[in-house]
Amino acid sequence: MEHRISRQMTDATDAYGRRLGAYLEQSSYSRLRGGPGVIDLAFGDPHEFPAPALVEVLQRHLSPQHTDWFAYTRDHPPAQESVAATLSRELALPFTADDVALTNGAFAGLTICLRSVCDPGDEVVYLDPAWFYYEPIIASVGAVPRPVALTPGSWRLDAELVAAAITPRTSAVIVNSPNNPTGAVYTDEEYAALAEVLREASARNGRPVYLLSDEAYRRIVFDGRSCPSPATHYPFTFLVHTYTKTLLLPGERVGYVAIPPTMPDPAVLRRALTVARLTTGWAFPNNSLLFALPELEQHALQVKPIEQRRDLLVDALREAGYEVQPSEGTFYLLARVPDADDWAHAAVLEERGLLVLPASVMGAPGYLRLSLTVTDDMLEETIGRLRSARPSTREHASVQR
Ligand SMILES: Cc1ncc(COP(=O)(O)O)c(C=O)c1O
């Protein structure tokens, strides 16, 4: 008898197959990764041991300190209070502990928000280029993904394009800044224009168009920038954050969804977010991370070395014939290939042991995404290989996908 996969999971699987699945299944990444001399610039994974002080915090909170240490724990007021204090300081809004719903990362944060506000068949607008999991996550809750293509090269948040994509079925818009993969950090002016569009659309539709602000990289900003949030412009905002980037520990799952103090009738949403976490496979953080959170709030990756790697890689890529805009934040750089075939360029670099992501799978055809989480030694080797590997067009043409 044939399997019968649910409609939502069929749609999510198809979306996955068009995005990240296409790369993992059609490139040699899975075969080459971890091989001798292979440098993985495709994903933002750590390649060095974490700081000993951070490991000590994690270890200490894994040792039970009372008999309830490993009991079912949902929210944890000291953790929520520490997040609320940070957000209040950074965004100049009086967040309280109750405004903070702790999660096991931004995957869960985005999912519980969508599950809370989307009916089956509702539309969710997001901006392409985009993180490759938005489309499958939106489809998995029974909603319809509506990507909006931004202007290539500038990649700025264009409120008019968002306005044109909103329909009476739109229940949410997702924005992501600092943006993976473009590296753009949106400004307060851009958010003010977006807020205006969303206010008008909500009034027209007779229901709120919620804004999901994916701020996974809000602490990874370069050149002395700060990271504005649309939560200060638009009350119907969910601010989604995760510590996996700030601490560069993607396998240790902890994050939150915060609603701004300006959100009308917050009790209804708080309850929905709690039940969404319960019914999304217990999307709360593990206790050790929950208890460690007030201390984890005090730790952060050093951003300066990432910024320095960005500068070295920008120069090397330009020298090798790629067009590159220095990213304003995140772990990534986007490089435009000279002849528009990102898959072919990724395959040529793959032959030289450099794994990079063809950004077609993130809605940026003709671009490659490179990660800045490599070590200095890996970067030096990468630069050497880019120098010696200026690939010819003929070579590209011969590469089969
Ligand atoms: C833009 C963006 N949002 C969300 C996530 C998910 O974060 P986490 O793995 O902490 O849930 C990522 C991870 O790469 C990301 O790049």
Alpha-carbon distance of 199 to 201, in angstroms, equals 6
Residue among 171, 211, 218 nearest 195 (CA) = 211
Q: Which of 264, 296, 328 is the last residue of a domain?
A: 296
Do 237 and 307 fall into the same domain?
Answer: no
- CATH number, domain containing residue 286: 3.40.640.10
CA of 247 to the centre of ligand 1 (A): 13
- pLDDT of 71 above 60: yes
CA distances 277 to 76, 142, 144, 244, 304, Å, are 14, 17, 22, 19, 35
Q: 100 near 77, Cβ under 8 Å? A: no
Give the pair of three-digit tokens for residue 81.
């209070």
Helices 287-296, 52-62: axis angle to 10 degrees equals: 140
For position 393, what pLDDT does the model report? 40
Q: For residue 388, what pLDDT band results from cuts at 50, 70 and 90?
A: confident
Residue 292 φ/ψ region, left for φ over 0, alpha for ψ in the -120 to 50 degree band, beta for the rest: alpha
Residue 225 and residue 364 in one domain: no
Check residue 391 and give its pLDDT.
54
pLDDT digits (tens, 9 = 90+) for 212-238: 999 999 999 999 999 999 999 999 999
Judge whether 378 lies within some domain: yes
As a whole number, mean pLDDT of residues 113-126 equals 98
Supply 141's token pair. 């809750």
Q: Render pLDDT for 164-205 as a digit per residue (tens, 0 to 9).
A: 999 999 999 999 999 999 999 999 999 999 999 999 999 999
Is residue 141 included in any domain, yes or no?
yes
CA of 216 to the centre of ligand 1 (A): 6
Residue to mutate (ligand 1; options 111, 239, 245, 330; most atoms within 8 A of CB): 245
Residues 291 and 307 in one domain: no
* Cβ proximity of 241 and 215 under 8 Å: yes
Smallest CA separation from ligand 1 atom 7, residue: 106
pLDDT digits (tens, 9 = 90+) for 286-312: 999 999 999 999 998 999 999 999 999
Question: Which DSSP state fits 330?
Answer: S
Signed CA dihedral, 361, 363, 365, 368: sign only: negative
Question: Which ligand 1 atom is the nearest neighbour of the CA of 105?
Answer: 11
* pLDDT confidence of residue 324: 97
Same domain, 37 and 166: no
Cα–Cα distance, 221 to 227 (Å, whole number): 7
Residues 314 and 273 grouped into a single domain:
no
| CATH number of the domain that residue 373 is part of | 3.90.1150.10
Ligand 1 binding site (Cβ under 6 Å of any ligand atom): 105-107, 131, 176, 180, 214, 216, 242, 244, 250, 255
Calpha distance 266→285 (Å, rounded): 22
Residue 59 placed within a domain = no
Domain's final residue, options 274, 296, 318: 296
24 and 137 belong to one structural domain: no
Question: What is the pLDDT at residue 380?
Answer: 97
Which atom of ligand 1 is the closest one to the Cα of 108? 11
For residue 129, cis peptide bond before it (omega within 30 degrees of 0): yes
Position 14 in a domain: yes
Q: What is the pLDDT of residue 138?
A: 98
Between CA 291 and CA 76 the distance in angstroms is: 7
Residues 321, 173 within the same domain: no
Q: Does 222 fall in a domain?
A: yes
When the pLDDT of each residue in the chain is averaged and rounded to a whole number, the result is: 95
Q: Do residues 142 and 195 both lie within one domain? A: yes
How large a percentage of the chain has pLDDT more than 90?
Answer: 95
Whole-number pLDDT of residue 399: 42
For residue 288, give the nearest of 56, 2, 22, 30 by alpha carbon.
56
Residue 202 CA, ligand 1 centroid: distance in Å: 28
Q: Which residue has the tokens 């264009």?
A: 158
Contact between 81 and 140 under an 8 Å Cβ cutoff? The reply is no
Does 63 map to a domain?
Answer: no
Residue 348, class by beta-carbon neighbours within 10 Å (0-12 exposed, 13-18 middle, 19+ buried)?
A: buried
Whether the link from the prior residue into 178 is cis, omega within 30° of 0, is yes
Instruction: Give percent above pLDDT 70 in the chain.
Output: 97
Instruction: Look at residue 397 and tell me whether its pLDDT is greater than 80.
Output: no
- Is the pLDDT at 398 greater than 60? The verdict is no
* Together in a domain, 263 and 342: no
**Whether residue 311 is found in the same domain as residue 326:** yes
Question: Is the residue at 161 inside a domain?
Answer: yes
Distance of CA 396 to the CA centre of its chain: 30
Are both 384 and 273 inside the same structural domain?
no
Distance between start and end Cα atoms, the chain: 34
**Which of 226, 261, 296 marks a domain boundary?**
296
The token pair at 251 is 């396998």
Residue 278 lies in a domain: yes
Which two three-digit tokens encode residue 268?
A: 């209804």
pLDDT per position as a tens digit, 129-147: 999 999 999 999 999 999 9
Residue 390 pLDDT exceeds 80: no
Question: What's the pLDDT score for residue 394?
Answer: 38
- The parent domain of residue 161 ranges over 68-296
Q: Judge if 30 and 15 occupy the same domain.
A: yes
**pLDDT 10s digits, 324-360:** 999 999 999 999 999 989 999 999 999 999 999 999 9
The C-alpha atoms of residue 275 and residue 280 are separated, in whole angstroms, by 8
Number of domains in the chain: 2
